[in-house]
Amino acid sequence: FETFVGQQVLRIIPTSDEELQKVQELQELEHLELDFWLSPRGLGSPVDVRVPFPSLQPLKAHLEANGISYSVMIEDVQALVDEEQSQMLRTPRGLP
Amino acid sequence: TSTFDYSAYHTLDEIYTFMDLLVAENPDLVSKIEIGRSTENRPLYVLKFSKGGTNRPAVWIDTGIHSREWVTQASGVWFAKKITLDHENDEGLAAVLEQMDIFLEIITNPDGFAFTHSQNRLWRKTRSKHSGSLCVGVDPNRNWDAAFGEPGASGNPCSQTYHGPYANSEPEVRAIVDFVKSHGNVKAFVSIHSYSQLLLYPYGYTDTPAPDQQELHELSGKAVAALSSLYGTKYKHGSIITTIYKASGNTVDWTYDQGIKYSFTFELRDTGLYGFLLPAKLIVPTAQETWLALKVIMEHARDHLY
């Protein structure tokens, strides 16, 4: 089982062409293993990216160094996965 | 299927069992076709809704080509049941089925879907292995023979948008290609994803407008309006490349280039907090609103057969 402990989903909304380009460049940084849930589409459109724990601080530092604001959309991905799994287990399973 | 819990997420086995039950309950309307096998040898099932006749014009709907987008497979289950409930009472649907067959592939990527239930909830791709790389899987929405391998897909096997070694390399894609070609009379094709709340039409690989752009834009606008009328969910519509980004080798560019004019790809809920972890209580509302849009597309195809 892969776990998502310590992983977060960040939301970035590029507000200038420069910011948009910087965010697009993140897709090329494969060593960060970023998972774009919503890829960069244009100014004002949200970009949601799941960030593995080891990449969290480097990415946040990179964004802050470039003056790109972001918000934490999902604080703890594993907690949500756990909640979903427990909901599935609570649901009456099987078919008549 | 009347006691099946449509407001919950289900495993592959449960959904396959559901399909068998639906067929058993509606033998004069629903049949199950195996169109191929996945990389890990799972059957690729399509439900056929038909009131008879041979090789009638058809609507194709698929859900779950990206395995982690669980609301799509769950919506596919709901659509299947909805068709059996409404095929006589709903005037629009009945009229569609008078002239056309509906094909519904609920689990387009069963290997990936099983993997999301057992190993990695956020797995998106297929589970094929490629020599020379430790990374597994191909993006089945970049594996089609429509500007395959051009910008808008990745050549890196570790990428989420890896296009694969060659077009149709994924058996999940190849099976649909073979089916559509051999059928030869598919008039509308809707491939369903989540989560961006969009209804998109070709092209993704070029910014040259599709020859039918005006009609597709008007139709998608009507479909989105119908969708939004239920719960006020906001959708955008437009061509793939102008609305999101360049995407080569994608499903509906291939279908459109095959002559299927009414080719659309959906992105269902939600753009908000949850994404792939959409709470189960949102499944039914998502499916209900999407169904209204699907009906607009199907009815338009029926009224404008070509």
Asked if B267 is an active-site residue, the reply is: yes
CA B222 – CA B27 distance, rounded (Å): 33
Ranges of H-type helices in chain B = 12-25, 70-86, 91-99, 110-118, 171-183, 213-231, 240-243, 251-257, 283-303
Which among B2, B125, B160, B270 is the top mutation candidate for probing chain A, defined by the most A β-carbons within 10 Å of its own β-carbon? Answer: B160
> pLDDT band at A93, cuts 50/70/90?
low
Q: Which residue, among B234, B273, B278, would best test binding to A if mutated, counting the most A CBs under 10 Å from its CB?
A: B273
* pLDDT top residue among A88 and A39: A39
In the predicted model, is pLDDT for residue A96 greater than 50? no
Taking residues A36-54, report their average pLDDT: 92
Nearest Cα neighbor of B123 from A72, A58, A91, A81 is A81
Q: What is the pLDDT of residue A95?
A: 43
What is the structure's pLDDT at A92?
61
C-alpha distances in Å from residue B153, one per residue of A31, B205, B250, B270: 18, 10, 9, 24
Nearest alpha carbon to residue B82 among B12, B15, B6 = B6
| B143, B130 contact by CB (below 8 A) | no
Yes or no, beta carbons of B121 and A81 under 8 Å apart? yes
The answer to whether the Cβ–Cβ distance between A91 and B5 falls below 8 Å is yes
Kindly determine whether residue B119 and residue A91, on different chains, have CB atoms separated by under 8 Å.
Answer: no
Q: What confidence score (pLDDT) does residue B135 get?
A: 93
> Which member of A35, A41, A73 has the closest CB to residue B122?
A35
Interface with A, mutate which of B67, B200, B271 (most A CBs under 10 A): B271
Any A CB within 8 A of B20 CB: no
Beta strands (DSSP E) in chain A are 8-12, 35-38, 47-51, 70-74
- Interface check for B280 against chain A (CB to CB < 8 A): the answer is yes
Contact A81 B3 (CB under 8 A): no
CA atoms of B91 and B111, how far apart (whole Å): 37
Structure tokens at B289: 């609103």
B185 to B210, B250, B270: CA distances (angstroms): 20, 21, 33
Residues of B in contact with A50 (CB under 8 A): 122
| B6–A contact, CB cutoff 8 A | no
Could you tell me if B284 lies within 8 Å of chain A, comparing CB atoms?
no
Instruction: Record the tokens describing residue B288, joined without a space.
Output: 């209900």
The nearest CA of chain B is from the CA of A22 a distance in Å of 16
- Interface check B304 vs A, CB under 8 A: no
DSSP state of B275: G
Query: What is the pLDDT at residue A29?
Result: 87
Residue-by-residue pLDDT tens, chain B, 306 positions: 999 999 999 999 999 999 999 999 999 999 999 999 999 999 999 999 999 988 999 999 999 999 999 999 999 999 999 999 999 999 999 999 999 999 999 999 999 999 999 999 999 999 999 888 889 999 999 999 999 999 999 999 998 999 999 999 999 999 999 999 999 999 999 999 999 999 999 999 999 999 999 999 999 999 999 999 999 999 999 999 999 989 999 999 999 999 999 999 999 998 877 889 999 999 999 999 999 999 999 999 999 999
B238 contact A CB<8A: no
Q: Which residue of B has its CA nearest to A71?
A: B273
Complex ipTM, two decimals? 0.86
pLDDT over 70 (residue A22):
yes
Residue of B5, B9, B245 lying closest to A41 (CB–CB): B245
CB contact under 8 Å between B280 and A87, yes or no, is yes
* Inter-chain contacts counted by CB atoms under 8 A, chains A and B: 68
DSSP conformation letters of B156-204:
-TTSTTB--SSTT-SHHHHHHHHHHHHH--EEEEEEEEESS-EEEES-S
Residues 144-163 in B contacting A (C-alpha not used; CB under 8 Å): 156, 158-160
Instruction: Give the span between the Cα atoms of B262 and B256, in whole angstroms.
Output: 7
- Say whether residue A74 is in contact with chain B using an 8 A CB cutoff: yes
